[in-house]
């Protein structure tokens, strides 16, 4: 029997949908090991997030609501997670694979002397203890592993765990007993860049249009990649090449060291298909590649490839799709 603790992630009072993958993972583990799961929501003004987590079947929703947790600082959130895990005697802590959790969960794991597996994509039942699959080597290798010890930590890839139904009875909401005064104060949060557009986040969108080095400047990126995305109601993404040259912000980067997405449709506009880029998008259902080089590696994974100049093909697509 396992007691699981799911870490909820939120931003500006909104639940991040990737949290639902962590809940789906918790339910899969419970289906194998038996047991229950709890959700921890930490921050300031978290009422709406708690409300949004109702119906998932958690035994309880633990709240850590305090001005000291206003900003997502690891040195403060990790002790809160550790305290919640201890108070529940949790055997497994799970969060989504996002920069938020990657920053905080390993620190909490260290406080608990727990082993941790990042980017888990599957739960594999086994009589000697549940096993997990995770991705490594830029997506070229999948490892089957077991976490030893009385407490285990994992982050999960959102594309690998389907959004769970929300039809269970309401969960009890209980505040976590925590001494917020004792939290360290060696880091201070200064500011956060505003999200550049009203477009959806690539990790949460059904369609992602992504641009690569073929785009010469940010005006062209916006007109072609942004334009096609808006026509389709899609999110935008980009290769590292454009982030490095300052054409796109790092928050758009897809790949081994950026976001991992698995939408229904991914349109790669002038992207060559480096291993590190493909690590972030090759679990997409349908991949489209538009590239003028017929030998570009991206065509080896694309369901539909169009050998063309993006400066011609993309405006044509935008024109034809907007007429629908």
Residue 263 within binding range of ligand FAD, rule CB under 6 A? no
Task: Choose the stretch contacting ligand FAD; rule: CB under 6 A; options: 13-21, 196-204, 221-229, 273-281.
Answer: 273-281
Residue 136: both structure tokens together = 């490594």
Which of another protein, ligand FAD, none lies near 232, with the C-beta cut-off 5 to 8 A by kind? another protein
User: How far apart are alpha carbons 200 and 73 in whole angstroms?
Assistant: 25
Q: How would you classify the pairing of strands 115-124 and 131-136?
A: antiparallel
Report the residue from 71, 118, 311, 315 that binds ligand FAD according to the rule CB under 6 A. Answer: 311
Half-sphere exposure of 269 (CA within 13 A, CB side): 28
Which of another protein, ligand FAD, none lies near 74, with the C-beta cut-off 5 to 8 A by kind? another protein
∠ CA(228), CA(230), CA(234), 5° rounding?
A: 90
User: How far apart are alpha carbons 254 and 262 in whole angstroms?
Assistant: 11
Nearer to ligand FAD, 81 or 289 (CB): 289
Residue 310 within binding range of ligand FAD, rule CB under 6 A? yes
Residue 67: both structure tokens together = 């001005």
User: How far apart are alpha carbons 282 and 111 in whole angstroms?
Assistant: 35
Residue 139 within binding range of ligand FAD, rule CB under 6 A? no
User: Least Å distance between CB 38 and another protein?
Assistant: 22
What residues from 255 to 314 belong to the interface with another protein (CB under 8 A)?
256-257, 259, 264-265, 275-276, 282, 285-288, 294, 299-308, 313
Residue 113 within binding range of another protein, rule CB under 8 A? yes
Residue 50: both structure tokens together = 């708690």
Nearer to ligand FAD, 189 or 304 (CB): 304
CB 109 within 8 A of CB 115: yes
Residue 197 within binding range of another protein, rule CB under 8 A? no
Nearer to ligand FAD, 79 or 237 (CB): 237
User: Least Å distance between CB 183 and another protein?
Assistant: 12
Report the residue from 47, 51, 70, 143 that binds another protein according to the rule CB under 8 A. Answer: 143
Nearby residues of 158 by Cβ (< 8 Å), 6 or more positions away: 17, 18, 20, 21, 96, 97, 203, 260, 262
CB 116 within 8 A of CB 7: no
Task: Choose the stretch contacting ligand FAD; rule: CB under 6 A; options: 151-159, 161-169, 194-202, 251-259.
Answer: 251-259
Task: Choose the stretch contacting ligand FAD; rule: CB under 6 A; options: 55-63, 86-94, 157-165, 290-298.
Answer: 290-298
Taking each helix axis as running N to C, give the angle between helix 74-88 and helix 99-111, from 0 to 180 degrees, rounded to the nearest 10.
Answer: 60
């Amino acid at each position: 029997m396992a007691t699981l603790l799911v870490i909820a992630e939120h931003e500006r009072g909104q639940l991040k949908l990737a949290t639902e993958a962590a809940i789906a993972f918790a339910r899969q583990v419970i289906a194998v090991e038996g047991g229950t799961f709890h959700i921890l929501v930490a921050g300031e003004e978290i009422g709406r997030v708690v409300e949004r987590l109702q119906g998932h079947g958690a035994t309880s929703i633990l709240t850590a609501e305090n001005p000291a947790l206003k900003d997502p600082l690891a040195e403060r959130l990790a002790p809160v997670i550790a305290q919640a895990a201890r108070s529940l005697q949790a055997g497994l802590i799970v969060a989504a694979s996002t920069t938020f959790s990657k920053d905080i969960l390993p620190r909490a794991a260290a406080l608990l002397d727990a082993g941790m597996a990042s980017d888990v994509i599957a739960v594999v039942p086994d009589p000697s203890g549940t096993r997990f699959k995770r991705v490594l080597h830029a997506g070229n290798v999948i490892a089957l592993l077991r976490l030893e010890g009385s407490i285990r930590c994992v982050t999960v890839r959102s594309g690998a765990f389907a959004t769970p139904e929300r039809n269970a009875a309401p969960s009890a909401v209980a505040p976590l007993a925590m001494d917020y005064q004792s939290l360290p104060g060696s880091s201070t949060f200064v500011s956060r860049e505003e999200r550049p557009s009203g477009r959806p986040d690539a990790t949460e969108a059904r369609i992602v249009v992504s641009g690569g080095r073929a785009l010469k400047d940010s005006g062209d990126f916006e007109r072609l990649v942004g334009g096609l995305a808006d026509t389709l109601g899609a999110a935008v993404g980009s290769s590292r090449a454009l982030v490095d040259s300052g054409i796109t912000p790092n928050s758009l980067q897809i790949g081994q060291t950026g976001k991992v997405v698995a939408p229904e449709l991914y349109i790669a506009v002038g992207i060559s298909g480096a291993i590190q880029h493909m690590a972030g998008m090759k679990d997409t259902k349908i991949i489209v590649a538009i590239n003028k080089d017929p030998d570009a590696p991206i065509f080896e994974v694309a369901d539909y490839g169009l050998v063309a100049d993006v400066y011609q093909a993309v405006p044509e697509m935008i024109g034809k799709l907007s007429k629908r």
